[in-house]
Chain A
Amino acid sequence: SYVVTQAPSVSVAPGQTASISCGGDNIGGESVHWYQQRPGQAPILIMYSDSHRPAGIPERFSGSISANTATLTITRVEVGDEADYYCHMWNRGSDRRVFGGGTKLTVL
């Protein structure tokens, strides 16, 4: 089965830039999506198809992708950005939806 990997945690100071990565074999050949989940809440879509922001998501959030890594970048990080972030993709080869293990963003 297809596996995507995320670092368990990322820490950043307020106002700085956070980069959250999602790795997978030839992930650049798929569309990667990102969700934010605050404690006790349902996930929220914050990026779809690699680099598209849904309505209402601040421009501070951006996405990019290369051959084997997708990256969510958050500039001018705020305390309110502290949450778990999950990457997600539909691996068409196996016809399986796959989530990464999540990255906990801590704002110091």
Chain B
Amino acid sequence: QVLLVESGGGVVQPGRSPRLSCAAYGFRFRNYPMNWVRQAPGKWLEWVATISDDGTNQNYADSVKGRFTISRDNSKNKLFLQVNSLRDDDTAVYYCARERDGGYFDFWGQGTLVTVSS
């Protein structure tokens, strides 16, 4: 059974740099590209970043490029998102999602809420 479990969220002060994690279970993690998607309260889904199955290629939304870094550890079946210089508009639920050939996201975690507040 495929399971994705995010962690690392919480109340964070502006300017801080938390790292979000996503633990993967029930599938061969190293075979799949992975993504982070976020959703601000009451708002729509926003794609954040993608990383290739072997971790060598990353791609970012313009809104986070240069501030966020996606990475993975295939030996530990974990995906990460380093979030630097947090801003108020980064407040959102952050989801990790598995990507299949054709670009669709077939499994999602339950998300971790990051609230930027002083």
Q: Which positions in A face B, CB cutoff 8 Å?
A: 1, 31, 33, 35, 37, 41-45, 48-49, 54, 86, 88-90, 95-102
Contact = CB atoms under 8 A, between A and B. Distances in A.
B109 interface: yes
7 contacts: A35-B105, A37-B45, A43-B108, A88-B105, A90-B103, A98-B47, A99-B46
Interface in B77-118: 95, 100, 102-111
Contact of A101 (B44, B62, B111): B44
B44 A42 contact: no
Given A99-B44, A102-B44, A31 B103 contact: yes
A96 B44 contact: no
A13 to B, nearest CB: 26
B62 A48 contact: no
A1 B62 contact: yes
Contacts of A100: 44
Interface residues of B, number: 22
Contact of B110 (A1, A35, A42): A42
Majority DSSP secondary structure for residues of A touching B: strand
A31 B105 CA distance: 12
B108 A44 contact: yes
Most chain B CB within a 10 A radius of its CB, from A43, A48, A97: A97
Contacts of B61: 96
Given A86-B45, A97-B47, A45 B109 contact: no
A41 B37 CA distance: 14
Nearest to B108: A42
A98 B63 CA distance: 13
A44 B109 CA distance: 10
Contact of B102 (A31, A44, A95, A99): A31
A2 to B, nearest CB: 11
Contacts of B46: 99
A98 to B, nearest CB: 7
Interface in B53-72: 59, 61-62
